[in-house]
Amino acid sequence: MQHGVKKAVFPVAGYGTRFLPATKASPKEMLSLVDKPLIQYVVEEAVESGIDELVMVTGRHKRAIEDHFDIAFELEEDLKAKGKHDLLSEIQRIAEMATICYVRQKLALGLGHAVLTAKRVVNHEPFAVLLGDDIIRSDVPALKQMMDVHDRYSATVLAIQEVPRSQTGQYGIIDADKVAEGVYRLKDVVEKPPPDEAPSTLAIIGRYIFTPEIFTALEQTSPGKGGEIQLTDGIKRLSEDQPVYAYAFQGKRYDAGDKLGFLEATVEFGLRNEELGEQFREYLKRLTL
């Protein structure tokens, strides 16, 4: 089946302040989760979902991301000369994974503004947005699951997951009607509500499929705190003009933008690593602090 979504946008211009000083000179998206940077996991999810045109919305000090997905001629020649063909193949695969273009978000004016920055490249077609903070492990890529929902409803689809009520203040929380298994039609979205004011415990996480009308909605959205254009406000405005759906994806999500979440992901991905998993498991069993 041919999907209508061909492009994916990756907002990677943020400062990564929660990981300072590690992110002072290196993008948070390049933090290594076992043996790959965070951004590579998210790019691979998009590619495995059938998307081959990627748009990185970058800022200053993000050159390392561009270099990571580019050809590394000297490194490739060195690996070739040393007979390290497995590593050479992996390095070449990264560079050939997809067509990537880079758009500069010159001022940090919010996630909504970052998405709006990609307007000219995306053009008038549906597109995905993936946040590098959210790493999702699943049998079928989470974005592919969402693309199937988008194909069914021809509408915007937000990824959601159930969260403890005590954590609603950390997320955009939806108010919605269930229309199918795992699928909800949005009535409202509330940004970071206190637990006693949250309309549900269904939280939006870092995967979205948007119809192109989101750009108009964002352009009509007034800046909020700090002059930032919030994506949540744009989604709410869009839902006033057309149906917006939310999908509870199958899989496990790791909040790699949080130090504890990053450590949890490191342990679990380490245990699943073919090369190191068993040795790592034995080390953890022996560990006493």
In a domain, 230, yes or no: yes
Per-residue pLDDT of the chain (289 residues; tens, 9 = 90+): 445 899 999 998 887 788 888 888 888 899 999 989 999 999 999 999 999 899 999 987 778 888 888 888 889 889 989 999 988 888 888 888 888 999 998 888 889 999 999 999 998 899 999 999 999 999 999 999 999 999 999 999 999 999 999 999 999 999 999 999 999 999 999 989 999 999 999 999 999 999 999 999 999 998 887 788 999 999 999 999 999 999 999 999 999 988 999 999 999 999 999 999 999 999 999 988 7
Q: Give the whole-angstrom CA distance, residue 185 versus residue 156.
A: 10
Cβ neighbors of 169 (< 8 A, separation 6 or more) are 192, 193, 194, 195
Q: Give the whole-angstrom CA distance, residue 27 versus residue 165.
A: 32
Q: Give the whole-angstrom CA distance, residue 236 versus residue 137.
A: 28
Burial 192-220 (b: 16+ CB within 10 A, else e): ebeeeebebbbbbbbbbbbbeebbebbee
Burial 27-55 (b: 16+ CB within 10 A, else e): bbbbbebbeebbbbbbbbbbbebebebbb
CA separation, residue 30 to residues 12, 34, 65, 106 (Å): 10, 12, 7, 20
3-state secondary structure of 84: coil
Cis peptide before 223 (omega within 30 of 0): no
In a domain, 264, yes or no: yes
Q: How many domains does the chain have?
A: 1
At 276 the pLDDT is 92
The percent of the chain in helix, strand and coil, each rounded to the nearest 5, is: 40, 25, 35
159 CB-contact burial (10 Å; exposed 0-12 / middle 13-18 / buried 19+): buried
In a domain, 66, yes or no: yes
In a domain, 1, yes or no: no
Burial 241-280 (b: 16+ CB within 10 A, else e): eeebbbbebeeebbbbbeeebbeebbebbbeeeeeeeeeb
Q: Print the domain residue range for 78.
A: 7-286
At 72 the pLDDT is 84
In a domain, 2, yes or no: no
At 240 the pLDDT is 92
Closest Cα partner for 50 from 5, 99, 92?
Answer: 5
Q: Tell me the CATH number at 260.
A: 3.90.550.10
